Copies of this chain bind each other. A is one copy, B any other.
Amino acid sequence: MNPIPISDPADPRIAAYRDIRERDLVGRQGAFIAEGEVVLAMLARAPRHRAASLLIDERRIDALAPLLAGFPADVPLYAARQAVLDAVAGFPLHRGILAHGIAAPPLDPAALLAEAPADAVVVLLSAIANHDNMGGIFRNAAAFGAHAVLIDAACCDPLYRKAIRVSVGTALTLPFARLSRGEDAVAMLKDAGFRVLSLSPAGAHDLHRVTRGGRTALILGAEGPGLDRGLMERTETVRIAMAAGVDSLNVATTSGIVLHHLTAGR
């Protein structure tokens, strides 16, 4: 992997990295930007997605040799000075470690559930639109060995740059699948033999009394609106007991608490 020097921010070979923030907003349709040493290490070992190219601060390439050796030899490694990196990205890029990734074809939710082990935990997200929360949930799902994440049509993209970063790269390694608009996720989960828990401050069961074991799905919704009532009526509703005067936890924190409970002692 010989570095290819880039001195012109307008060089077409690095067009994928141009104006990163603006392009974040319109989506990348099958492509993504990964940034930072830890995230690139996850991309190097991601089983499905792949790097199309790397763009690294020229002063850091020597120190990053072990990381860079983890990518196939035919992935172009572009090297640039900090000023060129900043000019390409459109803002000061303090880390200077970027990859342009190509997303694998989307996975089929039903197929992902069918191949789950007998004690699998799956997380289903409804209308999670905040990338920090999306990334945080992936990080927790990976930490506690979840089999997969399902996201509904109203969720943001887990392969958005910030979601990947907050997930510490686990958005690239943990399998996920997006449901179509109107698809009945609860029916799909039940058909696949999953017990379905939905988290809500109005839940009927205290989390610490919920038993573990078997294929289990955990449904989480956005903090403000919460989950749809019709959905809750068809599931085992669970609450996390809180002090008086506090009405909710952050949804990523909630995912960590519930996943820890469901997987503790394995």
Contacts and interface: CB of A to CB of B under 8 A. Distances in A.
Interface stretch (A110-118, A138-146, A214-222): A138-146
A219 B174 CA distance: 30
Contacts of A243: 142-145
A249 B144 CA distance: 10
Interface string A227-257: 0000000000000111100101110111011
Among A136, A139, A144, A250, residue most surrounded by chain B Cβ atoms (within 10 Å):
A250
A264 B250 contact: no
Nearest to A252: B253
A266 interface: yes
A260 B246 contact: no
A241 B264 CA distance: 7
A16 to B, nearest CB: 28
A249 B208 contact: no
B140 A264 contact: no
A182 interface: no
Nearest to A253: B256
A241 B144 CA distance: 8
A143 B260 contact: no
Nearest to A266: B241
B206 A264 contact: yes
Given A136-B253, A144-B243, A257-B260, 12 more contacts: A142-B246, A143-B243, A143-B248, A143-B249, A206-B265, A207-B264, A208-B265, A241-B266, A250-B252, A253-B256, A256-B256, A257-B257
